[in-house]
Every structure is written in structure tokens, then in C-alpha cells.
Structure 1
């Protein structure tokens, strides 16, 4: 609990994983909705169906890339904290 209150343990990477799954579900539902709207269009919107298929494929991929970029920042933070700890322990041992 002390690590949580002093912000030593990050909770945002867990939240980013939840955001990823919500984004995937929203992309899939959006793609299915666009396909359904294209099919039910009175003029037979082939473009709507194609856009829906692209949303089904590219949407989750873009959500994944975005979430990975966010997680990179937290991995960098963990690495910098580890380096800081190692440097401070080396400095203490030299004194």
C-alpha cells in the first residue's frame, strides 16, 4: 500500500490494457454498424461495406499501436527508476 500511495507502483498500465479492450470492442461494433448501414442503404452503399470491413481490420490494430506507445512511456519510467536505484546504491557503496 505504501508503494501505491507514494506513486512508486504505476496503475496506469493496467488501465491501458482495459482501454485497449474497450477500444477493440468499439472498433468491432463500429465496423459491424458501418457494414449494416451500408447493406441497408437504399442505394446499396458498397463504400459503406468496404469502410466497415476496413474498420474491423485496421481499428483494433490502431488501438493496439496507440496503447503500446502509451505503455512504452511507463516501461521507460520503470527502467529509469531501476537505473536511479542502481546509481544511488553505487554512490553509497563508494562513500
Structure 2
């Protein structure tokens, strides 16, 4: 508990997985909604594009967030090693 209160450990990386699944669900629902409620002949293509693009975009965004926190973790390990000398 102390590590969370004094920002020694990060809480956000644990939340990123939940956000990824939420964004993936939004991409699927919006892609399907575009396919089945869209007007015109290109609605199915646009829905598929939205579905695939949303899933890939959500994955890339979440991976970038995780990379930032892994960099922070590695820097914290370096600081701890330097202080232990």
C-alpha cells in the first residue's frame, strides 16, 4: 500500500489491459454497427475497415503505453542498483 501512496509502483499498467479489451469491444461494436446500419454500397467495406483498423489501433496504443511503463520500471531498477553501491 505504501508503494502506491508514494508512487514507488505504477497502477496504470494494470489498467491498460482492461482499457485494451474495452477499446477492442468498442471497435467491434462500431464496426458491426457501420456494416449493418450504414447506408450505401460501401457500408460493409467501411465497417470491416473500421473493425480491423480499430482493433489494430487499440493494440498499438496500448503497447506504446506499456513500453513507457516498462522504460520507467527499468530506469527504477538502474536507480535502485546505483543506490545499492
TM-score (norm 2): 0.93
Query: 1:76 maps to what in 2?
Result: 71
Query: 2:25 maps to what in 1?
Result: 25
Query: 1:64 maps to what in 2?
Result: 59
Deviations 1:38-94 (A, max 9, x none): 3xx3xxx2211101011122211110000110111110000000000101111xxxx
Query: 1:93 maps to what in 2?
Result: none
Q: What are structure 2's unaligned runs of at least 5 residues?
A: none
Query: 1:85 maps to what in 2?
Result: 80
Q: What are structure 1's unaligned runs of at least 5 residues?
A: 91-95
Aligned length: 85
Moved over 6 A (4+): none
TM-score (norm 1): 0.84
CA distance in 2, matches of 1:13, 1:48: 36
Cα RMSD, aligned residues only:
1.0
